Amino acid sequence: MDNQVYFELYRRSSIGVALMDSLDDLVRKGRITPQLAIKILLNFDRGIAEILASKVKARLTFKGHLDTYRHCDEVWTFLIKDVTFKFPQRNVPSVFARKIKIVCCNSKKAGEK
């Protein structure tokens, strides 16, 4: 079995929140066990990370003002203000955001370079 540890980052996405709400309801109603809910969430963490890594090929550039950054337990967090996103491969106008948060984690397995 795969010993890779997957981060729980995508649980805060809209689909992750919906999944957790549904699992909470099922556990509360006694239709599934808490252990099964945890197993489902772990599979979600693995699945979403693998699909995004293998299927998403979109690129973008962004420019903004770095407000804050942190590095803790091999996870980098950047808070950036007044950000402009550009999508070079599409005929899409630039997108502006007042503030964004970027979380970066090592995607390689232990021992990989």
pLDDT in tens, 87-106: 887 778 899 999 999 988 87
Class of the domain covering 9-55: mainly alpha
Fold type of domain 61-105: TATA box binding Protein, subunit D; domain 2 (2.30.18)
pTM of the entire predicted model: 0.66
The string of pLDDT tens digits covering residues 32-76 is 999 999 999 999 999 998 898 899 888 889 999 999 999 988 889
Alpha helices in the chain (DSSP H): 14-28, 34-55
Question: Domain locations in the chain?
Answer: 9-55, 61-105
Torsion sign over Cα 28, 34, 36, 40: positive
